[in-house]
Structure formats: C-alpha cells, structure tokens
Amino acid sequence: MNDKVPMLEEGYRALEAELKNLKGVERPAVVQAIEEARAHGDLSENAEYHAAKEKQGHIEGRIMELEGKISRAQVIDPTSLNSETIVFGATVTMLDEDDEEVVYQIVGADEGDVKVGRISYQSPIARALIGKRVEDEVEVRAPGGERYYEITKIEFK
C-alpha cells in the first residue's frame, strides 16, 4: 500500500484540516468523555463509557487512515500540466447523447462531488476518459447503463 495517492492541493488541505481537528479537538473530547464515564463506577454496564470507547476507536482509525493518505499524497497542480490527452486534474467538456454539454474535472478519490462537476479518477467515467483526446468519442459503462460522450475541450485550470 505504498502507492501514491493523487490529489489536488485543495483536497490535500482538506485532509490536513480534518486530521488537525481529530487530533486537536475530537480526540481530547473523547478522552475527557471516557474519564467522566469512568468516574461513574461499574464499567460493565456503563453505556456512556462503551459509547465513548467506540467513538475513540473510530477517531483513532480515521486518524491512521488520514495520516496514511497524507504520507502517500501526490499533490498535482492542474495548471502546471499541458497535455493533449486527458490526465488527472484535467477539466473535460463533452457533449452527451442529447447534445447537452457536460463538464467534469478529474480529481482524487476523496475529492469527488458530481454535483459540482468533480469526479474521482477511479470512477467509471474518469477511467473511460483518461488518455482520450478532443473529438474522441467515449462509451461509459456505469451502473445506470451505457452512456456516450464526445470530448469537445480539455483544460488544465
């Protein structure tokens, strides 16, 4: 699992902010909750103690996950790229089957948000687009069925 994890600067900063919050706010709060629950006596039937311990486990797991992603991060600045083909970080403008314009930016796994036009490089559509050029036609097999697109523009912004 030493593979680099590609992401944009914005995604990297978001992971760092979440990690800082978990370590500086969430972790101390759950430790305090455990101490308070311990003070109530018998731990075997203390629901507050068990809930706090479970939350602590989730927090510690997420901290480890974030530290791993941050240590393997390969931050990519799309503005520094200049490619004739679609690569990570590219913003792709396409026409769908109904001649409707669709715009997606290919981003890291944790950065995807289709509602704002950002798709993970691991998604079916991004995998179909990577390596393609302007005027190429792309067939995407997705859970909702097959879709066809024609690439009209590739930008790095």
Statement to judge: residues 101 and 61 lie in one domain: no
Residue where one domain finishes, among candidates 45, 75, 105: 75
Record the pTM. Answer: 0.80
At 60-78, the pLDDT tens digits run 999 999 999 999 999 999 8
Statement to judge: residues 88 and 117 lie in one domain: yes
Statement to judge: residues 32 and 13 lie in one domain: yes
* Dihedral (Cα; 59, 65, 68, 73), 10-degree rounding: -110
Statement to judge: residues 54 and 107 lie in one domain: no
Residue numbers of the domain that contains 110? 78-155
Q: What is the total count of domains within the chain?
A: 2
Residue 1 has pLDDT above 70, yes or no: no
Statement to judge: residues 58 and 89 lie in one domain: no
Task: Tell me the mean pLDDT in the region 104-118.
Answer: 93
At 8-29, the pLDDT tens digits run 999 999 999 999 999 999 999 9
Tokens 């927090």 sit on residue: 59
Which CATH number does the domain housing residue 117 bear? 3.10.50.30
| Amino acid at position 30, single letter | V
Residue where one domain finishes, among candidates 35, 55, 75: 75
Statement to judge: residues 148 and 83 lie in one domain: yes
Statement to judge: residues 151 and 112 lie in one domain: yes
* pLDDT classification of 2: cutoffs 50, 70, 90: low
